[in-house]
A and B are shown apart, each in its own frame.
Chain A
């Protein structure tokens, strides 16, 4: 089973050393993705969803970060034991990433051409996808750049940027927010990634542009057979774009299920609270239910289930023991003592 997984994160523990103490950012994350999966990773600020995703390309600054336990395997390879050089090759040939803010991720001093061609060349070189290199001849730099530029224009067309052959000479400020995000998606796709990690790709965008970008990601999944890990705090985005969802709370995945099942039949009290907190169509004035309290302090997290101080179903055992993930339906797992193992 685990051989068929593209990505397998097992019991990952991550700590950050701060002046105030050791923040236990991830406390046993389990996450699996198969090829072709579109998985939404949902949670509130500080729940560790970005950190989980960044552990795959190993982009967590260490120190102050420290992985204290757990394994991350990609296509059967152990990522955490790779050397930095191996990681560069690995990132270039298998991963693509898009981030939240399309403004800060493009250099304002260079044209799109320079930035996009660079990333095409880099990813080819690092991923050892340069044609001919291993055939014993090296194409000229000019020829390489020319080919890379053609590839860049092709990528722009793929990501829905009109007039790519002309707009490639423009600077980032001449692009709107949505178009910049498309450029970043094009960059992420430059190395033909197996896994696209999208960290809040639409959070900084307006709703109409958000809809465009989500539609683009969906169509790329269909066209290129991408595997996507979509990180978001917006349940609506997940409902629209993903097939499976993993809900995180304070460093753990508390529930994981196919999308429809999760919204129809949420099991974990936190997931229920989260869904009820979104102002939906038929909620009338005063009918919105928030989750009382705040997200826990990561330096001194509550013992047992980290959600127990905010949970309305809290039991004695919740304060002492960490609940394990149990099956609560078809492909549906929740980590909560309300659902005992044998049930």
Chain B
């Protein structure tokens, strides 16, 4: 089976400088050996707490950040090191929608200019032709024609996000990286935007990489979920599987922490200790200091590899040994 997006052993380290002459004294491992695949037309959720590296992965895919090592395959082509000219063509196929709609829109441009700019850059479309396309895009995302000459600050958060979506759609992308698209919005508006994203996916056959910290939203939007902890994937599976039988202790804790609007819901509340800390014992499992499950000797000394614990269900935890010895290799 071919994938639209394939990430192999992606790493992104940021230098920590200090000492004499401001030398590189250590690395901040924002993304540390992450691999996953995404099929065309599907939605993969990247979930994790702040600092888990989910946005960094998204930016590496668009080559807004240069990965330290690893490989990014888009539609079978290695895009990890392609040149600027090809990169421009690539970016008309991969687009990103950002979290803070107000900050991602230029306040000095009108809505028409914002949505029209990618058309000019990628297709050299201007004048009436561009205007027609922009108006068409605006109607697709539910904006009115009279909004064309308005500025972003005149819109509410939800409307601003619609402008951002229209801008991303302008170049007819195949893959859209959605970086927390609704976390700045109220629930009633969030529901509108999520439904819009689903409609657009069906209409234009889009593939989504959905970055979020909100498991409730992810459960609604995604076909598959990958959970990140400190730059490493700890569990990947189909959405139903993740929510029905989470295997990794971190996933279990996260799911038990979703505030469900149902006061009768009886469930075991797993409260994990402490906070996300980048100073975990080197070599061991990054989650070990906060883990509530029974501790094995290897937890502090051996990094658990991401293995297939069940059909299509990958877990990086010593408590869940691989299905069989033969499948104990990295998913290719």
Question: For chain A residues 270-285, which have a beta carbon within 8 Å of chain B?
Answer: 273-281, 283, 285
Expressed in whole angstroms, the minimum distance between the Cβ of B312 and any Cβ of chain A is 20
Cross-chain contact B213 with A278 (CB below 8 angstroms): no
Determine if A228 is an interface residue (Cβ-Cβ < 8 Å).
no
Determine if A238 is an interface residue (Cβ-Cβ < 8 Å).
yes
Cross-chain contact A288 with B260 (CB below 8 angstroms): no
Determine if A289 is an interface residue (Cβ-Cβ < 8 Å).
yes
Interface of chain A, main secondary structure = helix
Cross-chain contact A291 with B191 (CB below 8 angstroms): yes
Question: Chain A interface residue count: which class?
Answer: 35 or more
Q: Convert A198-234 into 0s and 1s, putting 1 for each residue whose CB lies closer than 8 angstroms to a CB of B.
A: 0000000011111110110000000000000000011
Cross-chain contact B191 with A290 (CB below 8 angstroms): yes
Cross-chain contact B257 with A285 (CB below 8 angstroms): no
Cross-chain contact B262 with A263 (CB below 8 angstroms): yes
CB-CB under 8 A from B256, the residues of chain A are: 211
The distance in angstroms between the C-alpha atoms of A289 and B157, with both chains bound, is 18
Q: Convert A302-326 into 0s and 1s, putting 1 for each residue whose CB lies closer than 8 angstroms to a CB of B.
A: 0000000000000000000000000
Expressed in whole angstroms, the minimum distance between the Cβ of B100 and any Cβ of chain A is 14
Residue of A nearest to B275 (CB): A176
Known: A44-B186, A44-B187. A208 touches B261 (CB 8 A): no
Expressed in whole angstroms, the minimum distance between the Cβ of B97 and any Cβ of chain A is 18
The distance in angstroms between the C-alpha atoms of A292 and B159, with both chains bound, is 12
Cross-chain contact B271 with A291 (CB below 8 angstroms): no
The distance in angstroms between the C-alpha atoms of A259 and B259, with both chains bound, is 14
Determine if B78 is an interface residue (Cβ-Cβ < 8 Å).
no
Cross-chain contact A277 with B213 (CB below 8 angstroms): no
The distance in angstroms between the C-alpha atoms of A302 and B107, with both chains bound, is 29
Question: For chain A residues 215-257, which have a beta carbon within 8 Å of chain B?
Answer: 215, 233-240
Cross-chain contact A290 with B192 (CB below 8 angstroms): yes
Residue of B nearest to A243 (CB): B263
Which segment, of B68-76, B81-89, B215-223, B301-309, faces chain A? B215-223
The distance in angstroms between the C-alpha atoms of A264 and B264, with both chains bound, is 9
CB-CB under 8 A from A206, the residues of chain B are: 49-50, 213, 276
Determine if B254 is an interface residue (Cβ-Cβ < 8 Å).
yes
CB-CB under 8 A from B269, the residues of chain A are: 211, 215
Determine if A330 is an interface residue (Cβ-Cβ < 8 Å).
no
How many A-B contacts if CB must be within 8 Å? 125
Determine if B198 is an interface residue (Cβ-Cβ < 8 Å).
yes
The distance in angstroms between the C-alpha atoms of A233 and B186, with both chains bound, is 8
Q: Convert A154-173 into 0s and 1s, putting 1 for each residue whose CB lies closer than 8 angstroms to a CB of B.
A: 00000000000000000000
Partner of A286, one of B186, B190, B195: B195
Known: A210-B259, A235-B261. A285 touches B198 (CB 8 A): yes
Determine if A96 is an interface residue (Cβ-Cβ < 8 Å).
no
Residue of A nearest to B50 (CB): A206
Determine if A45 is an interface residue (Cβ-Cβ < 8 Å).
yes
Determine if B194 is an interface residue (Cβ-Cβ < 8 Å).
yes
CB-CB under 8 A from A57, the residues of chain B are: none
Question: For chain A residues 5-19, which have a beta carbon within 8 Å of chain B?
Answer: none
Q: Convert B170-192 into 0s and 1s, putting 1 for each residue whose CB lies closer than 8 angstroms to a CB of A.
A: 00000000000000001111111
The distance in angstroms between the C-alpha atoms of A294 and B272, with both chains bound, is 38
Cross-chain contact A289 with B191 (CB below 8 angstroms): yes
Residue of A nearest to B253 (CB): A208
Residue of A nearest to B216 (CB): A279
Expressed in whole angstroms, the minimum distance between the Cβ of A136 and any Cβ of chain B is 48
CB-CB under 8 A from A238, the residues of chain B are: 261
Partner of A277, one of B50, B188, B253, B277: B188
Determine if B156 is an interface residue (Cβ-Cβ < 8 Å).
yes
Cross-chain contact A277 with B198 (CB below 8 angstroms): no
Known: A209-B275, A239-B263. A280 touches B188 (CB 8 A): no
CB-CB under 8 A from B195, the residues of chain A are: 286, 288, 290
Q: Convert B127-163 into 0s and 1s, putting 1 for each residue whose CB lies closer than 8 angstroms to a CB of A.
A: 0000000000000000000000000000011110000
The distance in angstroms between the C-alpha atoms of A295 and B159, with both chains bound, is 12
Cross-chain contact A234 with B259 (CB below 8 angstroms): yes
| A contact set with B: CB distance below 8 Å | 44-45, 176-179, 206-212, 214-215, 233-240, 259-260, 263-264, 273-281, 283, 285-286, 288-292, 294-295
Offer 11 A-B interface pairs, CB within 8 angstroms, sorted by A. A44-B187, A178-B275, A211-B256, A215-B271, A236-B258, A236-B260, A279-B219, A279-B220, A286-B198, A290-B189, A291-B191
| B contact set with A: CB distance below 8 Å | 49-50, 156-159, 186-192, 194-195, 198, 213-217, 219-221, 243, 253-254, 256-265, 269, 271-272, 275-277
Task: Return the 5 tightest CB-CB contacts between A and B, nearest first.
Answer: A236-B259, A290-B191, A279-B220, A291-B188, A290-B192
